[in-house]
Structure 1
Amino acid sequence: MEPPAPTSLRPLTDRERAILDGFLSYDYPGVDELRAQLSTLRVNPELSCSCGCGTVDLVADRVLSPAAAPSPLPVGAEIPGDGDVPLGGMIVFLLDGYLASLEIYSYGSGPLQLPAIEDVDWSGPDE
């Protein structure tokens, strides 16, 4: 299924690209195809979250091969808080094998912006 054509796309920010690189730095089925999609990604601000968080809707070039990867991606990305309780985390979803959404969620602390890459606690699929 082809998504509707957005009217205005923007490039990824440096922080969005770094976070997506983090999700794609692990090995799991389909990751090579997802890595190829990364350079084509654009953000659709019309469908991105409007609550004030850093969640963005992603648009990949559909000329590239879709990935046979799980959705959401099997990578943990927690945002540390004070002590042992994280503030929230991030998830990447696919649509028909294409990178479709980078979601950030909080554990009740209000909307979160995307953190700096060095402020993320990563865990891979085998950890």
Structure 2
Amino acid sequence: MVDKGKKNAMKGCIKATKGCWIVHRTTKHGGIFTKYRFPSERERQNNKCRERNRRAITKKIFAGLKEHGNYQLRKTADKTDLLKCLCNEAGWNVDDDGTIRGKKISSKFKFDLNDRPSEDDYCLCDKW
């Protein structure tokens, strides 16, 4: 059962309250300037609609990748698992704690820059 005392909290940047927005700006001298914004009701509705659309698009992308991406995922895989697979495919290693590292180049692709072909091997145009 849901407690009656708890409010329904919105996810992400959709705010449930109607108060002012606190904006922190950094001045050119390094100080922090705090300003209070009072957005109109229309601006709030536009932000909610934009955030809802963004979430719907993200959900569709992840569903399509999960279905057609041929990733080795668990049946109950979430967005984080799918992002790990995408990062792995793009050339990044993601550790269990969330640390992201670039993949190391395997030794079979390494070559020595001093290993240049001789002039005889390089140009074949005079031999024809």
TM bucket by the smaller chain? Answer: under 0.3
Higher relative contact order (CA 8 A, sep 6+): 1
Q: Which has the higher strand share?
A: 1
Q: Which has the higher helix share?
A: 2
TM-score normalised per structure 2: 0.22
For the pair shown, the structure with the greater C-alpha radius of gyration is 2
